[in-house]
Chain A
Amino acid sequence: MPPFLLLYYYVLLYCHMMKKQNLISLYKKLILIRLTEEAIALKYQEREMRCPVHLSIGQEAIAVGVCENLKKDDIVYSTHRCHAHYIAKGGDLNRMMAEIYGKVTGCAKGRGGSMHLVDLEAGFWGATPIVGNSLPVALGVAFANKLKGNKKAVAVFIGDGTAEEGVFHECLNFAVLHKLPILFVCENNLFSVYTHLKERQHTRPIYKIAEAHGMEAYQKDGNDILEVYKISSSIIDHIRKGQGPAFLEFMTYRHREHCGPFYDDQLGYRDQKEVKYWLKKDPVTNFKKYLLDHKVILETEMEKIKKEAMGKITRALDFAKKSKFPKQEKDFRKLIYAK
């Protein structure tokens, strides 16, 4: 065999391996998030997690597909529905659980709870639970990156409701004006609490607003993890090259109630046809099927991955439960002012 042909085969083999490893990595994160959220839903009923929780079940593919394309020192910001983003960016699971349990070992020392996750080391610089509130902060981090001249990217997760806030439009304008290295990721799950998008916005798609501001913007199926991964990969590349901000709108659906561990379709605020349609499009089930159909992974390997994830979750719950509660400090000034 001539050497060039040998090289060709090696490259082909390498690409195939990479692809397989990538796919498995996506699956590992996806299943870890799903199982974590399900565990939280179950444990929530013990009433020891005494804070609101906004579960990501049904929307995990977006978090994983985007974050798989980010480096460790790229920065992510998020919202009240932040568990998936935190885990996908590599946030510490033990400290997340401890935070939800209000423990001193929590990622925010028990001061923030489920809606204020943070892991600086992992590049998850914070989540805040006011619609549109973390958006300009993320933009400021990107602005500073640009001023400092580094190549770090920032991704900020928002929901469809954010497009109704004034600050959303202010931020899009500023991002384009200064050509900032930021990716806006809009998870459009059609609902703001119980209110459908139709009651809140005109029929024009959200990504069109970003497009009108003058940035690259696309709308994709947020439940198809490969689609999310592919578009994120090329768009983050575009951002890293200094070609300005970009906007991705991903259509998706949350399976459970807005806030809390339960399903709430007995309330009748969602069209049952719509619910059924989206449940069929469950990102985890469909990706599992894809991996098996394409023989990327065997069922037994899948079970092994699931077991590993369950092990991590059990250890995290254990860590959280055994951790101590924070003590009340007497000198509050030390807590609110930095030296």
Chain B
Amino acid sequence: MQSNTYTKAMNEALDSCLKKDKSVFVIGLGVPDPKGVFGATSGLRKKYGPKRVMDMPVSENALTGVCIGAAINGMRPVLTHQRVDFSLLALDQVINNAAKWYYMFGNQQSVPMVIKLTVGMGWGQGPQHSQNLQTLYAHIPGLKVVAPATPRDAKGLIISAIEDNNPVIFIDHRWLHETFGPVPEDHYKVPIGKANVIKKGSDITIVSTSYMIIETMKALNLLNELGIKPEVVDLRTLKPLDEKTIFNSVKKTGRLLVTDLSHREFGVAAEIISRVSENPKIKLLTSPQRITAPDFPAPSSPALSEHYYPRYTDIALKVVEMLEADKDRLAKLIARDKESNKIPHDVPDDRFMGPF
């Protein structure tokens, strides 16, 4: 199997859908420009022409409505925004129309469209270029929300989202774009609404999403050295939520930690913890915990952002605390890690040069 970046995987998915179905079109600010939405749309205009791969006026609200109308009228639009934050201009169309159309007109017309959003992080993105608003969209009945963490899932979920007959919010993360992984070459689907147990374990269930999967897996390296074996559930889809996979894992481990970069209050983690807590068949050995972004906007300065985002060390510390394991040994492992890893906190890797 070929190995590819997350961005290339998204590009392959769009390419494959454009090729397979004439009703698919991709539209968004910068879609055909030289940067091609971080590479996700690169080369597509040349292949499919300006009627199927297009730029748009800086009119997020109207163009969301236009995509809804086009979807109702037989097309399958993919609308992209280079930041989640920009999609807020279109909340009227997303929440009042896309999400409700199928229900409010008596199940006569559906809205098969995808809105692809990117979460920014680090490099001084600040309060309006790095919001994690998955909770906001996941709150709205009628929407589906996916946030894959791996290149393979990114490709398979874009294809599923485009072929779904409902509006799907697809959320990728800037720090996942350059991550590498196996990606099948064919046109395949990863089902919407199915979580994935990416690491089997027995001591604790860590439910995680999107970029936090990367931090969780880093935490696992430390925890394994301490002899702790967590089970990791990658949600992949936030709505509709795959309760079953979460419940089965927590029934086995008896402990639950949720990590997600939404704000803490009323967030994704809050929802998962409450669903597990509501389930009378689950007996927890210790109170469930969450690791999230704090309840204030993300600051720009590197001096401030260093303390803003939870990292793998926070996850490892929380797990050790929940299991009442050896804190001192973990502290030594973290110190060792910091000594060997000098990558600044505000970039995903050493090569990252910004600017956004």
Q: Which A residues lie at the B interface, using CB under 8 A? A: 106-112, 116, 118, 120, 125-126, 128, 130, 133-145, 147-148, 166-167, 170-171, 173-174, 177, 332-333, 335-339
Contacts and interface: CB of A to CB of B under 8 A. Distances in A.
A235 to B, nearest CB: 21
Contacts of A135: 62, 65
A136 B106 contact: no
B96 A111 contact: no
B57 A130 contact: no
Contacts of A136: 61-66, 68-69, 93
B62 A144 contact: no
Interface of B: 25, 51, 56-57, 59, 61-75, 92-93, 96-97, 101-110, 112, 141-142, 144, 165-166, 240
Contact of A130 (B69, B70, B92): B92
A134 to B, nearest CB: 8
Given A177-B57, A337-B166, A139 B69 contact: yes
Contacts of B104: 108, 111-112, 116
B241 to A, nearest CB: 12
Contact of A139 (B66, B101, B141): B66
Given A140-B66, A140-B73, A141-B70, A170 B61 contact: yes
Nearest to B165: A338
B62 A139 contact: yes
List the 10 shortest-distance A-B pairs measured between CB atoms, nearest first. Answer: A140-B69, A136-B65, A170-B62, A338-B110, A170-B59, A109-B106, A144-B73, A140-B66, A338-B165, A137-B69
With a 10 A CB-CB cut-off, give which of A109, A135, A144 has the most chain B CB atoms: A144
Nearest to B71: A140
Nearest to B100: A336
A173 B106 contact: no
A136 B70 CA distance: 10
A144 to B, nearest CB: 4
Contacts, number: 133
Nearest to B106: A109
A109 B69 contact: no
Given A112-B105, A173-B57, A335-B103, A140 B166 contact: no
A135 to B, nearest CB: 7
5 contacts: A120-B108, A128-B96, A140-B71, A148-B73, A170-B63
Contacts of A143: 66, 69-70
B120 to A, nearest CB: 24
Contacts of B165: 337-339
Contacts of B56: 174
A90 to B, nearest CB: 16
B329 to A, nearest CB: 47
Given A128-B96, A138-B69, A174 B63 contact: yes
A107 B69 CA distance: 19
A111 to B, nearest CB: 5
A108 B64 contact: no
A134 B100 CA distance: 13
Contacts of A120: 108-109
A13 to B, nearest CB: 42
Given A111-B103, A133-B92, A141 B61 contact: no
Contacts of A145: 73
Given A109-B106, A137-B68, A137-B69, A170 B57 contact: yes
A336 B140 CA distance: 11
A133 B71 contact: no
B61 A166 contact: yes
Contact of B105 (A118, A142, A173): A118
Contact of A137 (B65, B112, B142, B144): B65
Contact of B107 (A106, A107, A109): A109
Contact of B102 (A134, A171, A337): A337
B70 A147 contact: yes
A338 B110 CA distance: 6
B146 to A, nearest CB: 14
Contacts of B70: 140-141, 143-144, 147
With a 10 A CB-CB cut-off, give which of B25, B66, B112 has the most chain A CB atoms: B66
A125 B57 contact: no
With a 10 A CB-CB cut-off, give which of A143, A148, A174, A335 has the most chain B CB atoms: A143
A287 to B, nearest CB: 33
